[in-house]
A and B are shown apart, each in its own frame.
Chain A
C-alpha cells in the first residue's frame, strides 16, 4: 500500500506537554497536607492544561504531519525522543481527557472516604499520567520502554495505598508480574532488535516495520512473542493476574489507571510494537496475525467466563477489562483495514465506557460501602444517575448500539470477514453473550430487585456531585462517540492510511 510519509515538525510542544503532569505532580507534592484545595487544584489545572495542549496538536497531526522532539542522544540509534503521530494522539487525548474527569472524581472519592496519604496518592497519580503520556509520545522502543517501566514504578504506591496485608499482596503481585515480564522479555527483545537493526526508532507507517527481510523468521517470531507477553500491562493471559490483584487500590486508581492509563499503556505498546516494529507486511508474510488473534480470543472468552463468577463488582469489572483489552489486540492482529480500525478505536471506546463503570462502582462504594453485586439489589432506585450510567456503559461493553462499543464490534466483524478467519466470529459472539450474562444482572437487580430484608434505606442517597458529574460526563461521551465516532476514527484512519 502506498502511504505518503508525514511531514516532520520539530517542536518542543511535545516536551511541554510531557512536562505538564510532572509539574502537576510537583505542585501536588509541594502543597501537600497544608492546603488540600491547592493540592487538588494543581491536579485539575495540570489535567486541563495537558488536555488543551494535546488537543491543540490535533489539526496539525490530522493534516498529515508528525511532531518530533529529541531530548537526549544516548548511543548511536538509541535516543530519548518524543513523537506525536495519529496513533499517539488517540491515546494521549484519551489519557489526558479522562484525567480531568478522574481528578474531580478522586477528589470526591478520597475526601468522601477520608483516605490517608492523599498527597502521595495525587502525586503518584500525576506521575502515572506523566508515564502514560510519555508512552503515547515515544518515538522509539527505548523511550517507550523507559516510560512503560516508569508507569509500573509510579503506580506501585497507588496499588499499595491501603498499606494492609491485602494491599501489599496485590501490589507485590502487580510489580512482580509487570517488571518480570518487562525485564525478562522486553529488555532482551529491545536489545536484540538493536543488535539486528542498529536502531530502535519506529518507522512512520504501520506497513514497513523495522526488521529487514533478511532476519530469520524464527527470530522474528520469537521477538513477536516477547512483545506480546512482555507488555504484560495488556492483560493477555496467562500474565493477567496482576490486574485483578491490583483492584485492592482505591477505585479512582482502578478507574483511570486500571481501565485507562496503565492497561492502555499495555495495549498501546503491544499495538505499537506489532504495527511499527514488525509491520503489517511482515506480519502478513509470516502469518503472525490470525494465530495471535485466536490466541487472544482465548483470553477474551476465558476472562468473560471468570467475570461471570465474580460477585465483587470491581473484580468483575477487572476481568471484563482483561477480556476487552484483548479485543484491541485481536483487531490489530486481523491486519485488515477494518479489523485494525476496530481494534484501535476500541482503545477509545473501552476507555470511556470502562471508566464510567469503575466510577459507578466507586460511587456506589462511597454512598453505601457496598462492594458485592449481591448486596446491590434495589439500589438503582436510590442512585438513579449512577446506575443509569452503569446501564448505558455496560451496553457499550456488550456492543449494543448506539453506545461506543457497537462501533468496535461492527468494525471487528467486518474486519473478520475481510480476513477470512471466520472462526473469530464465534469468539466475538460468545464474548458478547457472556458480556450480557455478567452485566445485565447487575443493572436488572439494581432497578428491579428488592432490597434485602431489614435493610433500611435511610441515609443512602446518590454519591457526591464531584463523583456523579464525572461519571455522567464519561457516560455521555461513550454515547456520543457511539453515534458520532469520527473524532477518534479520523486518527484511526490516519494511522491505517
Chain B
C-alpha cells in the first residue's frame, strides 16, 4: 500500500491543534472563556479538515497526506500518518462532531469546566490520531490515550452510577487493548520482519494458524469497542451515565474505532482468516442487530434505548464489512458516518432535555409537541433517520449493506430484516410518547438558539447524505476496491503457499 508523502503536515496539525488548545486551557481564566476557547479550537480544526477533503484524490487507493519519520529508531518505531478513502470520512466526522459536543455541553457542564474541555480536546487528538496512524505503536499509544479522558468524562461528570459505569468501560476496553497489544507484537516478531509500519504488514504470506490467532486477538479488541454482541454490556451503562457530550463522542466516534479496526487491520492483514471466520461474524452481527432491537424496545430510559439501538446499528455495520463485497463495505463505511450523525444528534437532544427536566425517562417527556415544537421537529427527523426512513442518511447505509448482504447470501440478509422492523418499532414507540401521549410539559422551555444551531449541521447532513450521497461515496470507491483486492489476492498467495 503506497503512501503519498505531503509536506503540509496537515494531519499532524489536525492531531496536535486540539492538544495545543488543551495546553492553552490551563492559562485561560474564566469558565466562559474556556468554553469559547474549546469551541474556537474545535471549530478551527473542523474547518482545517476541509482542506483534507478538498485535497483528497479519490482516484487512488494510496494513503494520502502521508508523513513518515523515525520516532524510536532502536525499536523501528515510526511516526507515520496517512488517510485513504476509508479513514477520510471518519476523520471528518470526528472533527465536525467535536464543536457540536462543546456547544452541547455549554450549560450542561457547570463544574470543572476547564478539565472537561481539556478532556474533550485530548480526546480529539487521540481520535483523529487513531484514524490516521500508520505505525502500530503510534496507533496503540493513541488508542490507549483515548481511554483516560473518556474514563474521566464518565467518572467525573457522569450520572449517579458513574463509578460503576466508568470502571466497567475501562476494564472492558482495557481487556480488548491487551489482546490488541499481543497481536501487534506478534506481527512485529513474525518471521523477523521487525516493523510496526502497518502498510508493510499487509499482504504478507502469514500462515493460516498465525492469521487466525491474530484475527481473534484483533477481534476481541475491536468487538468490544464496536460493541458486538455479546461484548456490548459496557455500552448501555457507559452511555446512560456519561454526560451528553460524552455519549456523543462514544456513539459517534469511539464505536467506529472498532469497525475501522476491522477494515484497516483484520481484512488486509489477515485476509484468509477473515474469509474463514467471516461467516461467523455475520451471524454474530445478526445476533447483535436482533438483540439490540429487542432490548431497545423494552427500555423506558431514552438514553438506554438509543444505546441499545447503537448495538443494533453497529451490527448492521459489521454485517456490511463481513459480506466482503463493494456494496456491503461501502454501506458499512457510510453507515458509520450516519450513525455518528444521527445517534450523535439524538444523544445531544437527550442531553438538552435532561438539562431541563433532570430525567431521562420516556414517560416524563410525553406530549412535548404541545410546548416544544422545535424540539419535537428535530427529534422526529432524527428518529426517522435512525429507523432508516427513505431519503434520510441511514437509509442509504442500510440499503447498501442489505444489497451487499443479499448478493452475498439471501438468508443472512433476510435474517437482518427483522432488525429493520425493530428499529421502526422502538423509534416510533419513542416518538409516540414524546409527541402524543400525556399532558405535555408547560414548565419547560423549547430549544434556544445555541441548541438549535448545534443540531442544524447534523440535520443538513441527514438529508445531504440521504438525498445526494455521491460526494461521500466517491471518496471511498477506489479504496474499497483495493481493500477487496487485498482480501482476495492474498487468498491466492496463501493457497499457493499452503499445499
Contact = CB atoms under 8 A, between A and B. Distances in A.
A-B pairs with the 8 shortest C-beta distances? A146-B390, A72-B467, A183-B421, A179-B424, A191-B402, A183-B420, A195-B406, A195-B407
Contacts of A73: 468, 470
A75 interface: yes
B417 interface: yes
B406 A80 contact: no
Given A74-B396, A184-B418, A157 B390 contact: no
B391 A187 contact: no
Nearest to B369: A120
Contacts of B410: 192
Interface in A32-81: 72-75, 78, 80
A195 B403 contact: yes
Contacts of A163: 436-437
A75 B396 contact: yes
Nearest to B398: A187
Interface in B323-338: none
A356 B410 CA distance: 46
Given A73-B470, A149-B390, A187 B436 contact: no
Q: Which of A75, A146, A163, A191 has the most CB of B within 10 A?
A: A191
Interface residues of B, number: 30
A356 B391 CA distance: 36
B384 interface: yes
A440 B391 CA distance: 47
Interface residues of A, number: 30
A140 to B, nearest CB: 11
Contacts of A188: 402, 406, 413-414, 417
Contacts of A187: 402, 417, 420
Interface in A181-211: 183-184, 187-188, 191-192, 194-195
Interface in B391-412: 391, 396, 399-400, 402-403, 406-407, 410
Interface in A119-168: 142, 145-146, 149, 153, 156-157, 160, 163, 168
A145 B437 contact: no
A355 B396 CA distance: 38
B425 A176 contact: yes
A191 B425 CA distance: 21
Nearest to B373: A29
B467 A74 contact: yes
A426 to B, nearest CB: 38
Contacts of A142: 390
A249 to B, nearest CB: 14
A382 interface: no
Nearest to A171: B432
B479 to A, nearest CB: 18
B389 A157 contact: no
Given A179-B424, A179-B428, A187-B402, A74 B407 contact: no
A175 interface: yes
A72 B468 contact: yes
A80 B384 contact: no
A194 B425 CA distance: 25
A175 B428 contact: yes
